[in-house]
Amino acid sequence: MTESSNSSFAQLPVDVETSLSAIHYLHVYGGYSLDEIHQMHTTFPPLLEIDVVRHLRPKMRFLKDCLEGGVASTVTNSKSTNQVLDPKLKSVLPASFFGARFERTIAPRHAFLVHLGLPSGRMLWDDANDSSLLAEFLLQHRKPKQFAALCNLWRRTYGASNIDNNLPITSQQVVAFDKLFQRGILSAARDDSNHVYSDNNSNNAASKSKSPSLLDTANVTPAQLVRYLIQHGANAYETDVRGASLFHWASGCGNLEGLKELVDCCNKHKAGLESNSQLSSPGNSAALLWKASRDDAIPLHWACAGAGPKEFGIGGSVDVCNYLLSICSEAEQSIITQRKLINAQTRDGNTVLMWSAWSGSLEIVKLMFRNRADTEVSNRNGCTVAHWAASGGNLNVCKYLATMANVNFDVENYARNTPLSHAVAYGRGSVAQWLRDEMQVEDSGNNAENLALDFVNWGESGLGLISEDEQAERKKISELFRDWADEMGEE
């Protein structure tokens, strides 16, 4: 069959995004001749029905990037930057590979080989002694027990550079690694897998006592998962539904090593950037400048506040903050100065100092102040860092800001609410008492006192769904104002 007479693919649907059918994609980006594609179609009939974007493109990227099987194209009129598959790789690659379950089996199993230091990448098909490893891998990779046996065989034959013990590789390790890999790069960036166990339960005391976490079983770290996922095609510039990036999540969750992997991988590969981008260090730039689409917060905001998969403002990571400041001072001064980074504001005007004070991160508050954070700026509502600190309720943070940073805790926002009002509103009794007893803050118009009484009445009415402990705290705060009034009367 000649290429000119071949018309068997004339009616194939064209992919909307690439404007290429499977036959054209394999020809242009795989370097297969039409005769070769016809032979592949004969041995694997579903080949030409495979979706280009969802299946062919990820597998082709895996072959070129992970297996290092890309060579310069010699196809006439092709783009000069286009790569096709190495002829040797094509000769040992079965057509059925393009129909395999890439994300469920091939990618995590190959990443497992990389993790253990077993033959992987180009060694699977271009090894000087044995070019049949790829065929062995594709044949044995599907079932965990078979794949574990293959890993042990290769370990005895070729060695494993990343294993420092004599224990056999088990199917449990393989399955645990699969599950972690399949959770995706957002999970790895958030470092949330340490609470997931082999029985699929999380945050379960019984599970914790009976089985190790998936991370322990697979003997892998979240940072390593970030690296392997990016190496195997994950998008380092992915965002969640709220527009927060992986850099935000790694920073907020205190995943310092994971954040470093994100930065390093993006700096090395410059993946996902516009072709005309002039950024020399895209990973550094993303970690320093990326604004979440919801509120324009940068990763440093998240590092100061602290985050979890389902919570926010739980206390930041001073190590992550120090790292972000260090990469700012090292190489990105032309993009943003360290002082400008520290004083970055969200869309509402909230600074990183405000978020760190609100989350009760005293060491980060000290770090920001030592690095010349502006303590007098207010947000669009007129709230200062004093309002945020009082709302957060960490008394030590409030005392530090008042004594060391000379922050004014007797200031009103645009709604005429003071830090005392905020302490009352959020039930921060110790801060409210400190503001009145030690700071001698005035309650202009009895706004805070009336607010405290309103909360008590609201709780007693049953309309406010608050716990007994919170109601008791509300009463204590309200009683503080009566005590102060009695003291003033005695004077």
Do 243 and 325 lie in a common domain?
yes
Do 361 and 244 lie in a common domain?
yes
In this prediction, residue 256 carries a pLDDT of 98
| List of residues 6+ apart from 172 with CB closer than 8 A | 198, 217
Distance (Å, whole) CA 215 – CA 71: 37
Does residue 174 lie in a domain region?
yes
Kindly report, residue by residue over 221-267, the tens digit of the pLDDT. 999 999 999 999 999 999 999 899 999 999 999 999 999 999 999 99
User: Which neighbouring-strand residues pair with 213?
Assistant: 197
Tokens of 316: 């930041």
Do 213 and 109 lie in a common domain?
yes
Distance (Å, whole) CA 243 – CA 252: 14
Write down the number of H helices and E strands in the chain. Answer: 27, 4
Does residue 17 lie in a domain region?
no
Residue range 54-61: average pLDDT? 93
pLDDT band at 328 (very low <50, low <70, confident <90, very high): confident
Q: How distant, in Å, are the alpha carbons of 2, 26, 41, 89, 262 from that of 34?
A: 8, 9, 10, 17, 40
Residue 117 has pLDDT above 90, yes or no: yes
Contact 85, 69 (CB under 8 A): yes
**What is the chain's mean pLDDT, rounded?**
87
Helix (H) or strand (E) holding 208: helix 205-210
β-strand pairing of 83-85 with 307-308: unpaired
Distance (Å, whole) CA 267 – CA 30: 27
Lowest-confidence pick of 111-125, 326-340, 369-383: 326-340
Q: What letters, b where the CB count within 10 A reaches 16 and e where it falls short, cover 415-445?
A: eebbbbbbbbbebbbebbbbbbeebebebee
Distance (Å, whole) CA 475 – CA 460: 10
Does residue 13 lie in a domain region?
no
Distance (Å, whole) CA 384 – CA 345: 12
Residue range 187-211: average pLDDT? 66
Final residue in a domain of this structure, among 72, 99, 126:
99
Do 197 and 276 lie in a common domain?
no
Q: How distant, in Å, are the alpha carbons of 246, 251, 295, 316 from that of 321?
A: 16, 8, 20, 8
pLDDT band at 334 (very low <50, low <70, confident <90, very high): low
Distance (Å, whole) CA 306 – CA 299: 10
pLDDT band at 489 (very low <50, low <70, confident <90, very high): low
Q: Where are the alpha helices (DSSP H) in 117-194?
A: 123-126, 133-140, 144-158, 171-183, 185-190
Contact 53, 17 (CB under 8 A): yes
Distance (Å, whole) CA 96 – CA 43: 8
User: Rounded to 5 degrees, what angle do the CA atoms 84, 88, 91 make?
Assistant: 95
Do 240 and 369 lie in a common domain?
yes
Residue range 31-43: average pLDDT? 95
Lowest-confidence pick of 6-10, 103-107, 186-190, 321-325: 6-10
Residue 77 has pLDDT above 60, yes or no: no
Residue range 341-348: average pLDDT? 98
Q: How distant, in Å, are the alpha carbons of 186, 303, 330 from that of 323?
A: 20, 10, 10
Distance (Å, whole) CA 91 – CA 46: 20
Contact 231, 225 (CB under 8 A): no
In this prediction, residue 331 carries a pLDDT of 56
> For a pLDDT cut of 70, what percent of the chain falls above it?
85
Do 72 and 172 lie in a common domain?
no
Q: Domain limits at 33?
A: 22-99
Do 325 and 342 lie in a common domain?
yes
Residue range 457-483: average pLDDT? 80
With CA atoms as reference, report the closest residue to 187 among 104, 271, 305, 309: 309
Kindly report, residue by residue over 435-464, the tens digit of the pLDDT. 999 999 988 888 898 998 888 888 777 666
Do 240 and 362 lie in a common domain?
yes
Residue 482 has pLDDT above 90, yes or no: no
In this prediction, residue 279 carries a pLDDT of 63
Does residue 9 lie in a domain region?
no
pLDDT band at 2 (very low <50, low <70, confident <90, very high): very low
In this prediction, residue 269 carries a pLDDT of 77
In this prediction, residue 247 carries a pLDDT of 98
Final residue in a domain of this structure, among 70, 99, 128:
99
Do 353 and 291 lie in a common domain?
yes
> Can you spell out the DSSP letters for 157-175?
HH--TT--S-PPP-HHHHH
Residue 270 has pLDDT above 70, yes or no: no
Does residue 4 lie in a domain region?
no
Backbone angles phi, psi at 345, to 5 degrees: -125, 150
In this prediction, residue 82 carries a pLDDT of 73
Q: How distant, in Å, are the alpha carbons of 6, 55, 95, 270, 273 from that of 43?
A: 17, 18, 7, 38, 39
Final residue in a domain of this structure, among 59, 77, 99:
99
Do 341 and 245 lie in a common domain?
yes
Distance (Å, whole) CA 316 – CA 320: 8
Kindly report, residue by residue over 379-423, the tens digit of the pLDDT. 999 999 999 999 999 999 999 999 999 999 999 999 999 999 999
Distance (Å, whole) CA 201 – CA 181: 17
Query: What's the total number of domains in the chain?
Result: 4
Does residue 226 lie in a domain region?
no
Burial class (CB in 10 A: 0-12, 13-18, 19+), 340: exposed
Which CATH number does the domain housing residue 490 bear? 1.25.40.20
Please indicate whether residue 107 or residue 9 has the higher confidence score (pLDDT). 107
Distance (Å, whole) CA 208 – CA 337: 45
Do 249 and 210 lie in a common domain?
no
Do 93 and 107 lie in a common domain?
no
Using only C-alpha atoms, the chain has a radius of gyration, in whole angstroms, of 30
pLDDT band at 10 (very low <50, low <70, confident <90, very high): very low
Kindly report, residue by residue over 133-142, the tens digit of the pLDDT. 999 999 999 9
Q: What pTM does this model have?
A: 0.88
